[in-house]
Amino acid sequence: MATQWPAAEDRTGREPLSVVDRIKQYILLNRLSPGDPMPTEHELSDQLAVSRSRIREAMKTLSALDIVEVRHGYGTFVGTLSLTGLAESLAFRGMLTSHRDKHFLADLIDLRELLEIDWAPLIVERLDTEALAAMRALATTMVDLAAQGREFPVEDRQFHQLLVSTSGNALVGQLLDVFWQVHSLVAETIGPPTHLEETAQAHHAIIDAIESGSAEALEAAIRRHYEPIRERMRRSAGAD
């Protein structure tokens, strides 16, 4: 199929499309998929009849949203449409507002807990033994690290990814991962972590609950998991 180029005016009588929109149109018109190569900046500049500076600025906008991915000296490609932009935006909001109020972090924790609890019935029903074994190993590592007074961000993140992986809803998995990242970044700014051992143990309890086959037990275990985290937040709020 020949390359399709969007016109500056989508329909006569309407205002001309922005460069960003025309590049998005280009991707849609040519049915490109994540990873597919985009034209060079020079070619886009020619085809859309705008300077390379404008193309570059449009690309910056698009890469911030992970609609395209730019590789220095190599080329530009259709992005993976991940939610990295959301993570950056939320993390910045958290850092900017965490001085004034703690609402943001509290809302974030509530949302994480709520979404995980939503999937509790499905998780116990499907009971993915492979994932469960991996989660058990991660929990053990976390307890070990906690005993040494060390943190365990990598293990914690992976644990929660696995927990929701059985949901079948890719979107909620990605969102929860973003929330995890934002939480992790913002929490750093309010001081060192507390309740390390308690939090690590809470992950074992979550697996126990899943194996028990009771959705209610899992819900309770998830709630208990988030309690020390809320407690830490309350303390830092009081310390201000």
Partner DNA sequence: TGGGATTTGTCCGTATGTATG
Partner DNA sequence: GCATACATACGGACAAATCCC
Instruction: Quote the tokens at residue 63.
Output: 């890469």
The strand pairing partners of 68, in sequence order, are 78
Residues engaged in binding a copy of itself (CB under 8 A)? 24, 27-28, 31-33, 53, 56-58, 60-67, 81, 83, 85-86, 88-89, 92-93, 95-96, 99, 103-104, 107-108, 110-111, 114-115, 118, 169-172, 175
CA distance 93 to 115: 21
- Closest approach, Cβ 96 to DNA, in A, equals 20
CA distance 116 to 180: 12
Binding mask 51-80 for DNA (x = CB under 7 A): xxxx-xx-x----------xxxxxxx----
**Out of 10, 21, 41, 118, which residue is the one contacting DNA (CB under 7 A)?**
41
- Closest approach, Cβ 93 to a copy of itself, in A, equals 4
- The phi, psi pair for 102, rounded to 5°, reads -100, 5
Residue position matching structure tokens 């395209």: 68
- Closest approach, Cβ 8 to DNA, in A, equals 11
* Residue 205 binds which of a copy of itself, DNA, none (CB < 5-8 A, kind-dependent): none
CA distance 10 to 25: 10
* Residue 71 binds which of DNA, a copy of itself, none (CB < 5-8 A, kind-dependent): DNA
Residue position matching structure tokens 């985009």: 38
* E-strand stretches of the chain: 68-71, 75-78
Using CB under 7 A, list all residues that contact DNA: 38, 40-42, 50-54, 56-57, 59, 70-76
